[in-house]
Chain A
Amino acid sequence: MFTIPALLFLGVFVFYPLINNIVYSFQSFTLSSATKEWVGLKNYQTLLSDGVIFTSIMNNIRYAIVSIIIQVGFGLVLAAVLEDVAFRRIAPALRSIYFIPTILSMTVVCLLFEFVYNPQMGLLNSFLEAVGLDGLTKVWLGSKKTAMYSVIAVSQWQSTGYIAMLFIVAIQKIPRDLYEAAEVDGASKITRFFYITVPQVRQMFFVTMILTVSGAFTVFNEPYILTGGGPGTATMVLSLHMYQTGFIKNNMGYASTIAILIFVITAVLSSVQFFSFGKKEEDA
C-alpha cells in the first residue's frame, strides 16, 4: 500500500512515456497534428540512411573516448596522488577545490566557457596571446575542427573532480597493510599503483566507465547551450539531433525513433552497471 504513490509516479512519468515512445517511433505526426499516422518501419529506415545520425554517433563516441581517458584514466591517477601520504596536508583542500565544478549548474559552466572561448576577448585566447602563442588562438566554438573538442573539454572540466572523488572513496577502502607490505618489499609508488590500487578499485573503475560512457551518449546541455550543434552539424550529438528533429523540424515520429536508439544504447550500458552493482552488494 505504501508503495502505491511511488509506483504511480514512476508509471505515469517514466514507464508510460517509455511505452508511448516505442509506439510513436512507428508513427508519423507533428506537434499540432490531431491524428498520428502509422508508418511501420519507415522511421527506422530513415534512421539508417540519415547522415546526421552518423555524425552524431561519431561525436558521442568522441565524447566517450575523451571522457574515459580524462575522467576515468586521469581521474584515477589524480585520486591515487591525492591519497598519497606526501600530499596528506593539502589533499583535503584540493579535493574540495576539484569537486567545486560538479556542484555548479551546467548553464553556469557553459556560460562561463562561452567567455573562456570568446574569440575576441575570451580568457583562452588572451592567455595564449599573453604567453606569446598568438599562433594558437582560434575561434574555438566556431570552427569545425575545434568546436567538438572545445565542447567536450567543458565536460571534462566539470566532471573529472567528481569521478576522482568516487575513486578516492574506493581507494580509502583498500586495506592499508597491502601498501605497507609492498613498501617493505621495496615496491615503488608506480608499482604499488599498478599492482595494488588499480586491481583493488576495479569495481569502481567499471562503474565510472559505464557512468561516463552513458553520460557521453546522452549529453545534451553542453552542445545545446554552447553551439546548438553547429557549425553545420560539427557538434551534433544524438539527443540534440532528437530534440531538433522533434521540436524544431516538428517530426515527432522520427525523433522518437532517435530516442529509441539512445534508449537501446543507454539501457544496455546501465543494465551492465546495474547488475555489476547488484553483484557488488552481494559480495559485501
Chain B
Amino acid sequence: MKTKVKKRRKFGLGEVVWLIILLILAALILYPLFWIIMSSFKDYKGIYGDVWGLPEIWHPENYLTAWNKGISQYFLNSTIVTLATIVGVSLVSTFAAFGVCQMSGRLGNIIFLLCMCGLLLAPQVCVLPLFMLLTKIKIRNTLWAMILPYIAFRLPVSIMMVRAFFVGISKELEEAAIIDGATLLQIYRHIYLPLSKPILATVVVMTAYYGWNEFMFATIFVDSSAIRTIPVGLMVFRDGLMTEWGVVMAGMVIACLPITVLFLFMQKSFVRGMAAGSVKG
C-alpha cells in the first residue's frame, strides 16, 4: 500500500505532461533522421509523390550512385585530413603538455597560458589572414591547407585536457626512471604516454569529430573538387544533383556514418570531451 502511494506521488499530472513533452522532443529529433534514411531509398518520384510514406520501390542503388558520383573521393579526403589532424594533435599536444609539466617555475605557466590564449580566438577572426598566408606559402588548395590550421586550432583545448591529466600522474615512477638514467624522451614515451590512454581517447574522439565536420576552413581554403572534404563536398553534390534528392540523402547518410559509429562505441569519451572542453566546432 505504502509503495503504491509513493508511486502515485512520483507520477502526478506534471510528470505526465512532461513525459509527453519529452516524447514529442524525441520525435522532433528522431523523425527527421528517420525521414532522411527512408528518403535515401526513394527516387525523385517517390519523394515528390509521397513525402511521408515508406518507399514503394526501394532504391538501395542510390547509395552506389552517391558513392560513385563523388562521395567516395570526398570520403577519402576527409579520412586523410581527419587522420592526419588526429596524429598531429595527439603528438603535439601530449608533447606540449609534457613539456609544460616538466618545466619548473614560471616559464611553464607562461607557455601554458599562451597556449590557452588560443581558446579565446574564434577561427572566424583568422580566416582572411590565414587565407593570405596559405596562399603565400603555396599550400592553399591542398589537403595541408586544412590539416595544419585544424591542428593549430585543436591544440589549445587538447593541451588543456592532456595537461590536466598529466598533472595527476604520480611523480614516483618518473623519479625512479630518472635514477635509472632515463632521458626525458624515454619518460614521455614509456611512462606518460602509456598512462594517458583514457585522455588520449578523448582527444582523438574530439579531434575526429572536429576534423570530419569542419566546414568553414574547408570551404574557403579549398576550391578544387578533387581535394574537397565531405561537408563541403555534400554542398557541391546537392547543387549538382538538384532533383535526385534520394541520392543526395544517401550521401548525407554516408557522411554521418563514421562519427555516428565512433559515438556509439565511445560515448563516454565523447561526453567527457565535450564537457571538459565546453568548446564545440
Q: Which residues of A contact B (CB under 8 A)?
A: 1-7, 9-10, 12-18, 20-21, 24, 78, 81-82, 84-87, 90, 94, 96-108, 111-112, 114-116, 121, 123, 126, 130, 157, 159, 161-162, 165-166, 169, 189, 207-208, 211, 214-215, 218, 220-221, 224-225, 239, 242-243, 246-247, 252, 255-256, 259-260, 262-263, 266-267, 270-271, 274
Are A6 and B95 neighbours in the complex by a CB distance under 8 Å?
yes
Size bracket, chain B contacts: 35 or more
A-B contact pairs, 18 of them (CB 8 A): A3-B95, A5-B91, A5-B96, A6-B96, A7-B111, A16-B133, A86-B15, A102-B280, A105-B231, A107-B235, A111-B252, A115-B245, A123-B32, A211-B279, A225-B235, A255-B128, A260-B125, A266-B122
Q: Return the contact of B19 from the options A10, A87, A271 (Cβ within 8 A).
A: A87
- Distance in Å from the Cβ of B46 to the closest Cβ of chain A? 12
Q: Secondary structure at chain B's binding surface: helix, strand, loop or mixed?
A: helix
CA distance in complex: A266, B119 (Å): 11
Q: Which residues of B contact A (CB under 8 A)?
A: 10-11, 14-15, 18-19, 22, 25-26, 28-30, 32-33, 35-36, 39, 47-48, 51-52, 91-93, 95-96, 98-100, 102-103, 111, 114-122, 124-133, 148-149, 151-153, 155-156, 159, 184, 188, 209, 212-213, 215-216, 219-220, 230-232, 234-235, 238, 245, 248, 252, 255-256, 259-260, 263, 267, 270-271, 274-275, 278-281
Contacts of A270 in B (CB 8 A): 119-120, 122
CA distance in complex: A90, B48 (Å): 36
CA distance in complex: A100, B25 (Å): 12
Are B51 and A121 neighbours in the complex by a CB distance under 8 Å?
yes
CA distance in complex: A81, B281 (Å): 27
Residue of A nearest to B33 (CB): A100
Contacts of A214 in B (CB 8 A): 122
Are B99 and A1 neighbours in the complex by a CB distance under 8 Å?
yes
Quick one: which of B30, B212, B235 has the most chain A CB within 10 A?
A: B235
CA distance in complex: A15, B145 (Å): 17
Given contacts A81-B18, A123-B35, 12 further A-B contacts (CB under 8 A): A3-B115, A6-B93, A13-B153, A85-B10, A121-B48, A126-B52, A169-B271, A224-B216, A259-B125, A259-B126, A262-B122, A266-B121
